[in-house]
């Protein structure tokens, strides 16, 4: 382990692992949403009292949410490594991605179309974003 590795603040390591867990879960849940049987979901929604047109729209929304989850999960996983290494540009990009995704998920839950597991991932990402901006991590990202 190099001297530079040993100086890494603990919150940066915790944020890295939170982002990786969230990224893996987003990809998993996204793949589940994309590969779910549309007919089975549509039938279940219609049996629960939804109109057929609304049920079809919700299936499309489920697939779109899955695709978004995969894209955000892959982006989060890609950006987490350079953030852990101390690159301030990647930290800003990761926190921006996190912020946008958290807002999208909160809006989706507010209008009633959000998925609980995706919101959990967004909250893990938000906790990581807070950790990398703690005062104790400032020097890690300012150094050359």
The answer on pLDDT for 144 being more than 60 is: no
The predicted-structure confidence for 103-118, as pLDDT tens digits, reads as follows 999 998 888 777 888 9
Residue 25 lies in a domain: yes
Alpha-carbon distances of 75 from 9, 84, 130, rounded to whole Å: 23, 15, 18
Residue 124 lies in a domain: yes
How far is the C-alpha of 124 from the C-alpha of 17, rounded, in Å? 10
pTM equals 0.86
The predicted-structure confidence for 83-142, as pLDDT tens digits, reads as follows 999 999 999 999 999 999 999 999 988 887 778 889 999 999 999 999 999 999 988 887
Range of the domain at 46: 10-131
Residue 1 lies in a domain: no
Residue 137 lies in a domain: no
The answer on pLDDT for 67 being more than 50 is: yes
């Amino acid at each position: 382990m190099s001297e530079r590795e040993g100086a890494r603040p603990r919150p940066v390591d915790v944020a890295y692992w939170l982002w990786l867990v969230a990224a893996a879960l987003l990809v998993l849940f996204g793949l589940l949403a994309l590969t779910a049987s549309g007919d089975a979901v549509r039938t279940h929604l219609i049996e629960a009292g939804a109109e057929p047109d609304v049920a079809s729209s919700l299936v499309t929304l489920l697939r779109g949410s899955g695709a978004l989850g995969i894209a955000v999960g892959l982006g989060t996983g890609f950006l987490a490594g350079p953030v852990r290494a101390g690159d301030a540009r990647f930290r800003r990009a990761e926190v921006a991605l996190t912020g946008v995704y958290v807002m999208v998920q909160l809006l989706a839950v507010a209008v009633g179309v959000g998925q609980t597991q995706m919101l959990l991932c967004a909250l893990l990402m938000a906790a990581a974003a807070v950790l990398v901006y703690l005062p104790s991590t400032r020097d890690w990202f300012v150094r050359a």
